[in-house]
A = this chain, B = another copy of it.
Amino acid sequence: MKNFETHFNSPSNFQELSEARDLYWSDILSRSALAKTIMSGDFDKRLYAIYLIETYHYVIHNPRHQALVGVHAKNAPFNYVKFCYDHANEETGHEMMAFHDLLSLGLEKNSFTLDSPLNSTELLIGYLYYVSTTGNYLRRLGYSFWAEDSYGYIGELIGKVKEQLSLDHTQMTFLVSHSAIDEAHSAEIESMLNKYCSSAEDWNEVNRVMYTTLQIQALMLDEIDSEYQRIKKGEDSRYSFLNAIL
């Protein structure tokens, strides 16, 4: 499987969508430079810090484009629109968990600025705004479907990071809260998908967005690793200020 190609049997129900998610994750993790670095154990806090910074950047936008789905879903069932606003409400401020975890690594609050994200992070943000304001109004669910239930896929990596960096759980509030299988929330996304996806086109668009956002996330993970390798080698990087936490 190469980037941005989604050919296998297109999912046509929730079960098949779940299987596609398994497949995409397994493909991504098998190719991920970041996963390799983590499993090798050859990394320090700066890698986790860069991950948290990029997470901060894209997570700020989650409630905004989630709300925009509601605004643009003109003929959607009221309960779906209400879900969009309710979910936007819930997601508001979650970037502060990533920010909190970042500070917990030893950075002084006003010693740095977070101006703009890495290229692939910005790509993820921009694509999600487009997805949320055009086309099939259900399709952003394909992003929620993986983004809010990833512990099963990255739990091992999280464990390795925690152990290697001797982090306690107060330093992993974002990953813990977002990756843990939040059963209530997962159930809500599943319920939305099952209630409102009623055509092959619906499932296709949800799958397209799940696939594409997962691919961009994979690019982001690689870019995080690459940026880390740069500061490790002492090369010029916007994130050189992280040397302060070594």
CA distance A67 to B78 in the complex (A): 15
Q: Does A153 contact B (CB under 8 A)?
A: no
Task: Give the interface of A toward B (CB within 8 A).
Answer: 2-7, 33, 63-64, 67-68, 70-71, 78, 81-82, 85-86, 88-89, 92-93, 116, 118-120, 122-123, 125-127, 129-131, 134-135, 208, 211-212, 215-216, 219-220, 222-223, 226-227, 230, 235-236
Hey, which chain B residues are within 8 Å of A119, CB to CB? 4-6, 208, 211-212, 215
8 Å CB contact of A212 from B33, B71, B123 = B123
Hey, which chain B residues are within 8 Å of A3, CB to CB? 3, 120, 219, 222-223
Contact yes or no, A118 B67, CB < 8 A: no
Hey, which chain B residues are within 8 Å of A236, CB to CB? 7
CA distance A208 to B129 in the complex (A): 19
20 contacts across the A-B interface (CB closer than 8 A): A2-B222, A2-B226, A3-B223, A4-B119, A5-B119, A5-B226, A63-B81, A67-B67, A67-B88, A70-B88, A82-B92, A85-B88, A85-B89, A119-B208, A119-B211, A125-B130, A126-B129, A126-B131, A127-B130, A129-B129
